[in-house]
């Protein structure tokens, strides 16, 4: 979603997915992926 131009929607979707997971199912890899989504959104906002 972020790469398609919906930065806010992409970040919100990724955050909701992470929040929906029980804490014992959250991994470092998933947290890093969420950070990548946030960084991609930030880069797209900076380009506009």
Give the whole-angstrom CA distance, residue 16 versus residue 8: 12
Residue 24 has what DSSP assignment? G
Sign of the CA dihedral running 14, 19, 20, 22: positive
CA-wise closest residue to 8 among 46, 42, 48, 47? 42
pLDDT at position 3: 63
The model's pTM: 0.70
pLDDT tens digits, one per residue of 9-46: 888 988 999 999 998 998 999 899 899 988 988 988 88
Angle at which helix 7-20 crosses helix 28-47, to 10 degrees, equals 170
Looking at the predicted structure, is the pLDDT value of residue 2 above 80? Answer: no
Looking at the predicted structure, is the pLDDT value of residue 1 above 70? Answer: no
Identify the residue whose tokens are 């946030």. 38
């Amino acid at each position: 979603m972020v790469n398609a131009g919906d930065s806010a929607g992409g970040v919100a979707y990724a955050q909701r997915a992470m929040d929906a997971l029980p804490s014992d199912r959250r991994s470092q890899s998933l947290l890093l992926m969420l950070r990548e989504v946030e960084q991609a959104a930030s880069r797209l906002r900076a380009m506009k």
